Amino acid sequence: MLTSFSVLHTPPVPFCAFMTDDAEAIVNYAADGAETKYGSALVTLVEIRGGAARALGAQMAVRGDGGYCGYVSGGCTEAAVAAEAITAINKGTDRYLRLGEGSQFFDIILPCGGGITLAIHVVNDVKPLRQVLSALEKRKRIALRYDPGAQTVAAVKAREEAAGSWSDTSFIRSYKPNLRLILCGRGIELAATERLAIASAIEVFSFDRRSQEFDETGIDQDTAFAVLFHDHDQELPLLEAALQHKPFYIGALGSKRTHVRRCEALWARGYTPAQTDRIKAPIGMFGPTRDANTLALSVVADVAQTFSMA
């Protein structure tokens, strides 16, 4: 029979608070948890041995009450990771956790057959996490530098490399704002692409030129710009706005022959071939497409793939 003392000191059972692999939501959960009586930990994938379901830099946030969110594997190890993080929170000390190949836990086998190392950081200073959240809200890239020796994190300038990488003895986890897609066009192609992009958790702004003033201030380096007009005279001012900024993707509807005429019109307006080479046309990952839903899938897939490498 359990005594009242043992009941009070039984570690909480880990539970998934909500399913997400959105970096901003994970950091926010860790920051909010650190400001409660339960405390929190930020878990980061810092080493991969063989194959892995997630890339370096993948993260989880765990609260001392057992709640967690995020993924560092394919969903098969997250509860066990949360249990280790809860122990770290209770002890107030960071730790490494090895799973799969080379792990002390013989009953935890990763489906990919490889192994991973996780850095469990107990959040004692919430300020760096709030700095990350503030930067992302302003659509600015930023990074966290984790120093295992000092058991600290600090907000630093984002790196251009992959989301997670080692720099000397520190691990740098870079963050970029969520993907934004600006759609310009009219009709069923615009509606289908907007619908699919929203379903894919992309921030979407649609513009049809009939009743809206186009605001080009929303174009940044984490924005994709897609022009879906069949009347190509409508698109030139919009393409000019895109070319004057630095979206990571510019795409336009139409055939290769149409694109030649498009480029000639832009050259006549003073743009160079190097600038018009930024325009993906025909737009999308695959083509040609003959229906709106297939076009939408092609565009959203192409944008997502390009963003993952941006």
- 74-85 pLDDT per residue, tens: 888 899 999 999
CA 176/CA 200 separation, integer angstroms? 17
Q: Where in the sequence is the domain holding 184, given as residue range(s)?
A: 180-309
Number of domains in the chain: 2
Of 138, 153, 175, the one marking the end of a domain is: 175
Give residue for tokens 């706005």: 241
Residue 111 lies in a domain: yes
Q: Are residues 273 and 165 in the same domain?
A: no
Residue 208: pLDDT over 90: no
Tokens 């190949």 map to which residue? Answer: 101
Position 2 in a domain: no
In sequence order, the β-bridge partners of residue 61 are 42, 69
Whether residues 241 and 134 share a domain: the answer is no
pTM of the model: 0.88
pLDDT surpassing 80 at residue 212: no
If asked whether residues 21 and 163 sit together in one domain, one would say: yes
203 exposed, middle or buried (CB, 10 Å; 0-12, 13-18, 19+)?
A: middle
Q: C-alpha angle with apex 136: 130 to 142, nearest 5 degrees?
A: 80
**Quick one: residue 268, left, alpha or beta (phi over 0 = left, psi -120 to 50 = alpha)?**
alpha
Tell me the pLDDT tens digit for each residue of 88-109.
999 999 999 998 765 555 445 5
